[in-house]
Amino acid sequence: MSVLETDLLVIGAGPTGLFATYYAGFRGLRVALVDSLPELGGQVTAMYPEKLIADVAGFPAVKGRDLVAALVAQASATDATHLLGRSALTLRHDGETVTVGLDDGTQVRAAAVLVTAGIGTFSPRPLPVGPEWVGRGVEYFVPDFEPYRSHDVVVVGGGDSAFDWAQHLEPVAASVTLVHRRAAFRAHARTVDAVRESSVRLLTCAQVVDIRGNETVEAVVVRTDDGHEEVLPCRAVVAALGFVADLGPLQSWGLETSKRHVVVDSAMRTSLDRVFAAGDVTDYPGKVRLIAVGFGEAATAVNNAAAVIDPSAHVFPGHSSDA
């Protein structure tokens, strides 16, 4: 069993966790960063690397992968210990130390813990038909648009992911058809309008009822609510039906939670001593789940954690321009 000692353990290497890692270094803290995924960037890297993000301060629009690259470069100054491809399983308090056990047997002893786990572990909602086609033309994520070039693509879903992928695949694919079981959409109205004005074909009040092909997908059968069926030739199906999120072992730590989120106060303190949280994982009155909000919460959490780790330290760190 290996033991790692650090000042702050950050659990979750998405944008909020990466910025928290940088900021902890700015406060002079030793940092360890753990994530169950094998690379930095969290859900942005895993699901939306090509998506344009337009609500991050200082960027009129930035691709997910570019935002992550900038955050990684910023956090590199901290010289943090990265523990990737590992999950946090247990947590116990030992006086002024919090010990977190990882699934590989590593024990991390930290003066404070910051949970930035986003929605926790996540798995896509499966397409009701054709599970045997996953990896053979049916996909749940689009990390790279190039494999879809000059192919006919069917996107299934009516939320932000479905419309984002339809919008970004439209200039690359030979054709894009978006199939949704209802006439109304959950996606952002501006994105819906942009897709309506593009060459993407919208099939509403319809569902994919069959997938056809040999080694790979060659067509899907779509049935509308009035019973009409249509065969759509395609080489790829993107199932954007949402995700099932799970906080996993964190739920056994004794944290106060609300609807699969961790309850925090204005200092980003959780119900457990020396355990803080920031980003999409948190909940409090008026919570808004945006990357931009997560950055501010990360700074708030780290500054308050710094004063817990070193009681002689001030919560307000001073301005970086004065450093």
- Residue 54 has what pLDDT? 87
Query: Which residues participate in the annotated binding site?
Result: 16, 35, 43, 48, 88, 122, 280, 321
Residues of the chain with pLDDT under 50: none
Binding residues for FAD: 16, 35, 43, 48, 88, 122, 280, 321
Q: What is the DSSP string of 198-255?
A: SSPEEE-SEEEEEEEESSSEEEEEEEETTS-EEEEE-SEEEE---EEEE-GGGGGTT-
Confidence (pLDDT) at 245? 67
Rounded to whole angstroms, the Cα distance separating 293 from 81 reads 25
DSSP states of 61-91 as a string?
SEEHHHHHHHHHHHHGGG-PEEEET--EEEE
Instruction: Find, among 295, 262, 264, 294, the residue nearest to 279 by Cα.
Output: 294
* The pLDDT value given to residue 70: 96
Note the pLDDT of residue 120: 64
pLDDT of amino acid 78: 92
Burial class of 283 by CB neighbour count within 10 A (0 to 12, 13 to 18, 19+):
middle
113-155 per-position pLDDT tens digit: 999 987 766 677 889 887 899 999 999 888 788 999 999 999 9
Per-residue pLDDT at 37: 85
pLDDT of residue 248: 79
pLDDT score for 286: 97
CATH 3.50.50.60 intervals, the chain: 3-122+243-322, 126-239
CA pair distance 247, 117, nearest whole angstrom: 8
How do residues 2-31 score in pLDDT, each as one tens digit? Answer: 999 999 999 999 999 999 999 999 999 999
What CATH number has the domain spanning 3-122+243-322? 3.50.50.60
Its pTM stands at: 0.79
Residue labelled with tokens 């000059």 = 150
Query: For 252, phi and psi rounded to 5 degrees?
Result: -95, 0
CATH topology classification for 126-239: FAD/NAD(P)-binding domain (3.50.50)
The conformational region for residue 274 under phi > 0 = left, psi -120 to 50 = alpha, else beta, is: left
- Give pLDDT, residue 140: 87
CA distance 97 to 81: 18
